Amino acid sequence: MSTANAAASVQWSSRLGFILASAGSAIGLGAIWKFPFWAGANGGGAFILPYVVFTLTTGLVLLMAEFAIGRRGRGSAVSAMRRIGGRPFALLGAFAVLTSFLILAYYSVVGGWCVAYLAQSLTTGVVTENAQTLRSDFREIVSTGRINIAWLFSFLSLTAITVGCGIEKGIERASKLLMPMFFVMMLAVIIRGLTLDGAMEGVKYLLSFKPEDLSPGAILSAMGYTFFSLSLGAGILITYGTYLPKRADIPLSSLWVALLSIQASLLAGLMVMPAVFAFGVAPDAGPGLVFITLPMIFAHIPGGCIFAAIFYVCLLVAALTSSVSLLEVVVAFLHNEWRLSRSTATIASFVLLFFLGSLSALSFGELNEFTLFGRNFFDFFDFVCTNFMMPVGGLAVAALMAWKAWPAMKEELTAAKPIPPGILSAIRVVLGVLAPILVLTTMYQGLFL
Ligand code: PHE
């Protein structure tokens, strides 16, 4: 049996499993720690409106194109791109695999912090009113190499075990269990936050809409966030698409993934901001928000320890379902191109990632002084992947499916249900013209402004 056929025999067992796994990849740390702050800082509604519009237009067609490449080409991101677009696109597929690998090398360091905080919230507790203690506790985890590396190891192990168990028994089963749990737990924290005095200020900060705030900066940030939050351009949805059965409805499934991702971002905003405002703390983004500000806030809330633990479960689930998708891209590549067995491929990736991840983990402590283009390892990987590598991947997908292989794209889109020609033309224009213009502009902003 050829490798393509071998790969084709592995499939998602249900549409729900596929949608939840893809949504799980999309919904990650981005939604929880970038969205609430970015939305607030860019005028609330003036960020949310373009974000929703981009997700349902450019984001949606790019999702469809990635799934279509995967199902049409089979194998891995590399062989799928090669089969549809020839050698140059195979190289772009390899670039996407490298992107996923590099993202994982810093994403899993943060995943390690999530495990650390969950473990602590279930044992000694993380909540305290003392901001100084919280800051020094966080600094200790982050800047002590062996502690940071130990947590990285635990997070990477969870990721590798899930991927090692395969598509149906590993990724699909984990997503079906974790994603619904994620939404229910999020709702519990949201309800608690919204019932605090002063919570409505946070809702207003997030949702207020002033047309004058619709600046080019807010619009470009919304595009950048759309791209990152849908996990586009890193070969992930291509790889997940390779396990799609022929009869699956790609447009409908893509719409589901986009809507779930929007919903998760909005819910994450509602989970974080009302509580932040109820206690009059300055909203923050990134690690400072989830590892310092929020534990301080939970300390003021009755039952705060329990809600803190629930919150860190959500954070870990979000990070894990995204890291699993990143690792799957690499494992599928090694399995299909280098013919390693799935378990050997998983172990080999784990070892390499542990090494590279350790460099990122040490970049807040022992390797602090070591910089590439003025950035430590962690920030360098983050900067290059989000501002350069993912956009290049997105451009490759758009060019391939809108221009080089449009007939194949049309067939994939209409495999389950016919689509009116007008809508197909609109999809082609958004994919082949609008998406590249927006991606290039955002890339320029990220790299040079
Ligand atoms: N979408 C994920 C998040 O929001 C991040 C991610 C990007 C995951 C690219 C995989 C690939 O956190």
According to the model, what pLDDT value does residue 320 have?
96
Q: How confident is the model at residue 163 (pLDDT cuts 50, 70, 90)?
A: very high
Residue 6 has pLDDT above 60, yes or no: no
Span from the CA of 30 to the centroid of ligand 1 (angstroms):
7
DSSP string, 62-115: HHHHHHHHHHHH-SSHHHHHHHHH-HHHHHHHHHHHHHHHHHHHHHHHHHHHHH
Mean pLDDT value across residues 304-318: 92
> Tokens for 264?
């998760």
Question: How far apart are the CA of 319 and the centre of ligand 1, in A?
Answer: 8
Decide if pLDDT at 1 tops 70. no
**pLDDT at residue 8 above 90?**
no
Gap from CA of 128 to ligand 1 centroid (Å): 30
- How far apart, in whole angstroms, are the C-alpha atoms of residue 207 and residue 194? 14
Q: Which of 31-45, 287-301, 327-341 has the highest mean pLDDT?
A: 327-341
- For residue 7, is pLDDT > 80? no
Residue nearest atom 9 of ligand 1, based on CA coordinates: 231
pLDDT at 430 > cutoff 60: yes
Q: 350 falls in which pLDDT band (50, 70, 90)?
A: very high
Mean pLDDT in the chain?
92
pLDDT tier at 38, thresholds 50, 70, 90: confident
CA–centroid distance, residue 385 to ligand 1 (Å) = 11
Q: Which of 32, 322, 326 to mutate to test the pocket of ligand 1 (most atoms within 8 A of CB)?
A: 322
Atom of ligand 1 nearest to the CA of 100: 11
pLDDT of 4 strictly over 50: no
Is the confidence at residue 414, as pLDDT, over 70?
Answer: yes
Is the separation of the CB atoms in 416 and 250 below 8 Å?
A: yes
Cα dihedral 224, 230, 235, 241 sign: negative
130 near 173, Cβ under 8 Å?
Answer: no
What pLDDT digit, counting tens, does each position of 224-263 carry?
Answer: 999 999 999 999 999 999 999 998 999 999 999 999 999 9
Atom of ligand 1 minimally distant from the CA of 232: 9
Look-up of token digits 């195979």: 90
The CA dihedral of 167, 171, 177, 178, to the nearest 10 degrees, is -170
Point out the least confidently predicted range of 81-90, 155-164, 301-310, 427-436: 301-310
CA of 29 from ligand 1 middle (Å) equals 7
The rounded percent of the chain whose pLDDT value lies above 90 is 71
- Phi, then psi, of 178 in degrees rounded to 5: -80, -40
- The segment with the largest mean pLDDT, out of 52-56, 279-283, 294-298, is 52-56
Q: What is the chain's percent helix, strand, coil content, to nearest 5?
A: 80, 0, 20
pLDDT, position 356: 94
> What is the model's pLDDT at position 262?
97
Q: State pLDDT tens for residues 45-100.
A: 899 999 999 999 999 999 999 999 999 999 999 999 999 999 999 999 999 999 99
Ligand 1: list residues with CB < 6 Å.
25-26, 28-31, 103, 228-229, 231, 234, 236, 322, 325-326
Q: What is the mean pLDDT of residues 109-132?
A: 91
Q: Write down how long the chain is.
A: 449
Cα(77)–Cα(69) distance, integer angstroms: 8
- pLDDT value of residue 284: 73
From the CA of 106, how far away is ligand 1's center (Å)? 12
Q: What is the pLDDT of residue 3?
A: 44
